[in-house]
Each structure stands twice: as C-alpha cells, then as structure tokens.
Amino acid sequence: MPGAPITAKRKSWGLRAVVFDFDGTIADTRINFGLMRQRVAEVLEALGAWEEGLEGRYVLEMVEAAVDVARQRGLDAQAVRAAAEEEIRAVEYEACGRARLCAGAAEAVARLKAAGLRVGVITRNCGAAVEMVLSRHPLPLDAVVPRDSVLRPKPHPAHLMEALNAMGVAPSQAALVGDHVTDVQCARAAKVALAVAVAGASSSPSELRAAGADFVACNLCEAADFLLSHGDSLHE
C-alpha cells in the first residue's frame, strides 16, 4: 500500500536536492499518448520507416528504432526523425496549452525549497511544451531538463545526471520523485539516495515497488513529508 516505509538506507552525506518528473507528477498535462503513438506510427509507415515490433515500444524509443530502420533502408533518417518529432510535439502542445499543476505541486516545491533543498525537473516532454505550463504556473526551480536538452532521455541515468550536474549535487545527495516505473528505473540506474514514487494512473503501487521505489506516496504532500523527514536519516 502507498506509504510503506523505506526498506533500506543508502549512504549519503545528506539530502541536498530533489528532482521531479514533470508529466503526471508536477503537471497535470494528460497527454494523449495513444493518439501520439498512432500519429507517429502513421508518419513512419508513410515514410517507409515502419517495421513489425515497433508498436511495442515507448514513442521516443519507437522513433529511434525507426530512424535506424530508415538508415538500413537507405532513407533520409533525419527527415524521418523530424516528421515523427513534429507529430509528438503537436500532441504535447495541445495538452500543455491547457495543463495545470498537479494538486499539491506548488506546496511541495515550496516546502522543499524552504528547507534549503534544490529542486529540479526532468521530463521526456519537449522544452517548449514544458515552458507553456511553467509560464502560466511558475515554480522556483533550480534546473529544468527536457528531452531536447539531452542525448538520452530517462529512464537513461544521463538525463537525471544532467539535472544534478546543473545543480551541483551528487547522486548520493539527491532524490527522484515520479509517477511511472521508468522514473524509478532512472533513479536506481543513477544511484540516487532515494527513489520516491507517487501512485497514480501511470503505474500501480506494486509496479512502482517492484521497480525499486523506496517509498510510494499517495500524493505530493505525502512525498514531501517523507523527503523532509528522511533527509537527516540518510546519514550512515
């Protein structure tokens, strides 16, 4: 059940930063990923870069695989990537143009900042779409790293490391908060001190724990409570 206690401490010199996922954790974007996948698949098929098996991948990984297919078939790989990314951004813009912050997001960030922690965001969303939300609902963030600022987006740990480097914080001094198993996988791969999950529509509590979450919160308020109460206990 959400709220289960941390099962194991990880060595740390103390929590100095918290990095949040964006979609579904900080922002209620409600991106229609089904529509996104459909539109991308149609473009890839029209350009001759589709092959059986791509439908089982996340959309960004689908595009990368299709770009490889395009190269193998002697197609214009960059044109394939550009066309697919245009469809992805169109769906993101439509959703983020009306998105709001998730319940408790502003309060959670404010509490963590008041405690002296640095707060960042990483997201598989594009930077322009993220800015559409944050321009209307600003937050005191120390780093925002969208997918178009990195070569390898999460769950690859390089994405999280980019945010931590921007804030001058070591993985052992940081926590990642997200709502999807890929967020937890990213946290574990980067070896951050804590992987905190917020249960929601993306992944079930059992899936989040199976991925390696240290704590599964019911909401952002509970996640902030956990982070603030466990910051000092990370010392060993």
CA-wise closest residue to 59 among 83, 29, 38: 38
The confidence band for 201, taking pLDDT boundaries of 50, 70 and 90, is confident
Least reliable range by pLDDT among 57-71, 91-105, 199-213 = 199-213
H/E stretch holding 121 reads strand 118-122
Whether 99 and 214 have beta carbons less than 8 Å apart is answered as no
Query: What is the arithmetic mean of pLDDT over 3-28?
Result: 73
Q: What is the pLDDT of residue 231?
A: 61
Per the CB < 8 A criterion, the answer to whether 148 and 172 are in contact is: no
Whether residue 121 is predicted with pLDDT greater than 90 in this model: the reply is yes
Of 61, 19, 11, 15, the closest CA to residue 36 belongs to: 61
* pLDDT for the residue 235: 39
Distance (Å, whole) CA 129 – CA 8: 37
pLDDT attached to residue 233 = 46
Residue pLDDT, tens place only, 133-180: 999 999 999 999 999 999 999 999 999 999 999 999 999 999 999 999
Q: Is the pTM of this model over 0.85?
A: yes
Nearest Cα to 22, choosing from 181, 130, 157, 152? 130
How many other β-carbons are positioned within 10 Å of the β-carbon of residue 49? 27
Domains of the chain, each with CATH number or no CATH: 17-28+100-234 (3.40.50.1000), 33-96 (no CATH)
pLDDT digits (tens, 9 = 90+) for 102-114: 999 999 999 999 9
Position with higher pLDDT, 3 vs 171:
171
Letter string b/e over residues 117-141, b meaning 16 or more CB atoms within 10 A of that residue's CB: bbbbbbbbbbeebbebbbeeeebeb
Does position 193 have pLDDT exceeding 60, yes or no?
yes
